[in-house]
Amino acid sequence: MALLSKPKSPPPAPPPLPSAPKQTFLRAKLTDGSTVEFDSEPLASGGEKIVFFTRDKQHVVAFFFGRVNDPGERRRRLEKILGPYNPTIGGTQADYWRKHFCWPVGIVDNDPTLPADFIKRHNLFRPVLGVVVPAYRSNFFFKDRTGNTREKKGRWFTGAKARKLVPEEERGNLLRYLQCCSVMASAVRRLHFAGLAHSDLSHNNVLIDPKHGDASVIDCDSLVVPGLAPPTVMGTPGYIAPEVVAGKKQPSIETDLHALAVLIYESLLLRHPLAGPKVRSTRSPEEDDLLSMGAQALYIEHPNDPSNRLKPPPEISAHRLGPYLEKLFIKTFVVGLHAPHLRASASEWEKGLQKTLDLVHPSPDGHNWFILAQGLPLECPFSKKKLAAPVPVATFLRHIKRPGSDTLDFKDDEHALTVWNGQYLYPWHARSNVSPLDAKRDTVGYFTFHQNKWYLVNQSNADMLLVDQPDYLRHGHAVELTPGLRVLLSLEDGGRLAVFDFLEP
């Protein structure tokens, strides 16, 4: 009889896995008397601040590192930014600006209840100064090709290497980038209207969402407040104005205008407007870079000086972005590059981008958009596909009422509209004194291509005037577009006259 083998002892139980640290929250008192609860573990840190999520994750609390050089000045700056200079409170456009600024909503100033160990662990010093700002909206995050969640900072979409990590559906097209730039320009115009300068505009401090054509200006707690708060940073390399790089000026509204133009150029053309092949110094790369972005900066598409042009030339030049933007790039990077007071203003960029959006045309490939205007080829530069049929273009003239005169007088509005099938007319097309920011998006008309003919259909509740008939275009009625057709789109003040012509392939 075989001996029974002795049963083996069961293997020892594995040691218990370490439990995740329990999430704890701290409470801080704001200067308005309210309190905010925030996670005791940081979300992120930057050059100036360390950031913590609030309990509801709707805001973050950002504490300034180390000893603030002048806490009194910093405190007064924040009070002004939250108070009289705040575009997100009051006014008809406050809701719009809340979407497109990450604007501070509260201040933590020397709260004695913050634990000493928390202060020491995160390199903070009393009096502790912090600011509460909204968390980024969800559309400003994406998952890259490796599965990591990223903030939609512009470098992901304009940098050649980083762009490869962005999923195709997040990259957008020219139409969406124009919309992103339009929002950027509007936000900077609003800052400058209040006398504020951002001082560090860059693709690190502007979030863009090319999938939906959205943007938001962030890091608004260090704005340059006129007569009170000087700049605390010189800017981000590549966006710093030449006069600041050369040590001649401090950041200001004028230097913001250089950075804004760089942002727009990079977003639309995926390259830097000053980074060309010209060598300024052979002594060191650092000196060459300093001169290239500073005292000897030169636009890579300078119309008269070819010494810094790219070789081979880029497939899509600034000229292909249409007449309005090309003119503003020349104004900023040629005329105003070393003469800051001559740069295009944020308001000019805003208007130029809005006008350029009226020149976009869908590509024959069904995916892209491109700029189409007088003097530009009827070919999409992205897909290389050509349009086969003539394209209508409306040139806008502004209706001018002269006292005691019944005649129709008009002035060139330097504004045109490239027509495509299914395109809508909005109030800001029909009247020159209406802004897209103020107007409702109720359509006043649309264009349609039917049986090889183009038509304009009046959708407004008011008549349009067929100037040369003379007759009225009533609600729901259509008129065929023919060369030379003139339609007064609105009989109200600021009404525009649309004169139609055709671009031939």
**Is the domain of 122 the same as that of 267?**
no
What percent of the chain clears pLDDT 70, i.e. is strictly above it? 94
Domain count, the chain: 3
pTM of this structure: 0.92
Residue 233 is predicted with a pLDDT of 85
Query: Rounded distance, CA 493 to CA 496, Å?
Result: 9
**Is the domain of 150 the same as that of 184?**
yes
pLDDT in tens, 304-357: 999 999 999 999 999 999 999 999 999 999 999 999 999 999 999 999 999 999
**Is the domain of 35 the same as that of 167?**
no
Strands (E), 299-368: 360-362
Query: Rounded distance, CA 181 to CA 177, Å?
Result: 6
Question: Residue 90: is its pLDDT beyond 70?
Answer: yes
Q: Which amino acid is at 51?
A: V
Residue 497 is predicted with a pLDDT of 95
**Is the domain of 336 the same as that of 225?**
yes
**Is the domain of 116 the same as that of 146?**
no
**Is the domain of 126 the same as that of 152?**
no
Owning domain of residue 412: 379-503
DSSP string covering 439-479: S----SEEEEEETTEEEEEE-SSS-EEETTTTEEE-TT-EE
Q: Give the pLDDT mean for 34-56.
A: 93
Q: Give the pLDDT mean for 92-97.
A: 91
**Is the domain of 52 the same as that of 192?**
no
Residue 2 is predicted with a pLDDT of 44
Q: Where does a domain end: 326, 357, 388? A: 357
CATH number of the domain enclosing 83: 3.30.200
Measured between its terminal Cα atoms, the distance across the chain in Å is: 102
pLDDT in tens, 162-187: 999 999 999 999 999 999 999 999 99
Q: 226: which DSSP letter?
A: T
Distances (CA, A) of 148 to 52, 136, 137, 332, 501: 20, 17, 17, 37, 50
Q: Is residue 395 part of a domain?
A: yes
**Is the domain of 165 the same as that of 291?**
yes
Q: Give the pLDDT mean for 40-46.
A: 90
**Is the domain of 351 the same as that of 227?**
yes
Residue 173 is predicted with a pLDDT of 96
Where would I find the H helices in 250-359?
Answer: 253-269, 285-293, 323-330, 346-357
Nearest Cα residue to 233 out of 220, 215, 251: 251
pLDDT in tens, 205-234: 999 999 999 999 999 998 998 788 888 888
What percent of the chain clears pLDDT 90, i.e. is strictly above it? 80
Q: 324: which DSSP letter?
A: H
**Is the domain of 394 the same as that of 456?**
yes
CATH number of the domain enclosing 249: 1.10.510.10
Q: 455: which DSSP letter?
A: E
The H-or-E segment that residue 50 falls in is strand 49-53
Confidence of residue 73 (pLDDT cuts 50, 70, 90): confident
Q: Is residue 393 part of a domain?
A: yes
For residue 395 the two structure tokens come to 């040139």
Q: Give the pLDDT mean for 351-365.
A: 97
Q: Is residue 152 part of a domain?
A: yes
Question: Residue 403: is its pLDDT beyond 70?
Answer: no
**Is the domain of 82 the same as that of 169?**
no
Q: Is residue 410 part of a domain?
A: yes
pLDDT in tens, 424-482: 999 999 999 888 877 678 899 999 999 999 999 999 999 999 999 889 999 999 999 99
Residue 67 is predicted with a pLDDT of 77
Nearest Cα residue to 121 out of 17, 232, 18, 24: 24
Q: Is residue 386 part of a domain?
A: yes
Query: Rounded distance, CA 493 to CA 43, Å?
Result: 53
Q: Is residue 14 part of a domain?
A: no
User: Is 132 in contact with 163 (CB distance < 8 Å)?
Assistant: no
CATH number of the domain enclosing 406: 2.60.200.20
**Helix, strand or coil, per DSSP, at residue 370:** strand
Residue 72 is predicted with a pLDDT of 85
Q: Give the pLDDT mean for 184-212.
A: 96
Lowest mean pLDDT among 109-123, 195-209, 217-231, 404-418: 404-418
Confidence of residue 4 (pLDDT cuts 50, 70, 90): very low
pLDDT in tens, 12-34: 666 665 555 567 999 999 999 99
**Is the domain of 412 the same as that of 473?**
yes
Give bridge partners of residue 399 from the DSSP assignment: 410
Q: Is residue 5 part of a domain?
A: no
Kindly report the average pLDDT of the chain as a whole number: 92
For residue 504 the two structure tokens come to 């031939």
Q: Is residue 9 part of a domain?
A: no
